[in-house]
């Protein structure tokens, strides 16, 4: 109900207090003297739940930190391996370029081979 439908007048405040005390009386009749024991148990349960929630939050944060560190380690390792592979490829290309004959040298070798073959007949 809104305040417009249920204005807080002295009469309404009195009714609210009567209703609350009636509810308290009914609660005492149903639960009797055990209500304090129940409330105490509920408080212990709430404290236990909150402590376990805090422990879980701490564990989640620790796992999150470990994951971030692991991802950084993997990223660093991958970057190192990529750099090593690039270096090996560069060395191979240089080696191929050194061992590769240019067209003029190949032509000279073929002419020389042709002369040798012609002289052996």
Domain that residue 67 falls in: 10-119
CA angle 27, 19, 9 (to 5 degrees): 155
Q: Report if residue 102 sits inside a domain.
A: yes
Name the domain count of the chain: 1
Give me the mean pLDDT over the 89-93 stretch: 91
Go through the chain and tell me how many residues it has.
Answer: 121
Q: Report if residue 4 sits inside a domain.
A: no
32 versus 113: the higher-pLDDT residue is: 113
Give me the mean pLDDT over the 62-81 stretch: 96
Task: Give whole-number Cα distances, 25 to 11, 18, 20, 91, 106, in Å.
Answer: 21, 10, 9, 91, 112
Q: Report if residue 3 sits inside a domain.
A: no
Give me the mean pLDDT over the 86-112 stretch: 85
Q: Report if residue 91 sits inside a domain.
A: yes
Q: Report if residue 107 sits inside a domain.
A: yes
Mean of the per-residue pLDDT values for the chain? Answer: 84
In this model, does residue 46 exceed pLDDT 80?
A: yes
């Amino acid at each position: 109900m809104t305040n417009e439908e249920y204005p807080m007048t002295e009469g309404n405040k009195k009714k609210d207090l009567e209703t609350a005390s009636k509810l308290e009386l009914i609660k005492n009749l149903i639960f009797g003297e055990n209500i304090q024991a129940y409330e105490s148990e509920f408080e212990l349960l709430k404290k236990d739940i909150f402590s376990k929630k805090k422990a879980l939050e701490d564990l989640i944060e620790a796992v999150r930190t470990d994951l971030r560190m692991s991802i950084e380690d993997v990223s660093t390792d991958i970057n190192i391996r990529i750099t090593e592979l690039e270096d090996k490829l560069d060395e191979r290309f240089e080696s191929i370029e050194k061992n590769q004959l240019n067209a003029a040298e190949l032509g000279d070798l073929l002419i020389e081979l042709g002369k040798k073959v012609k002289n052996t007949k």
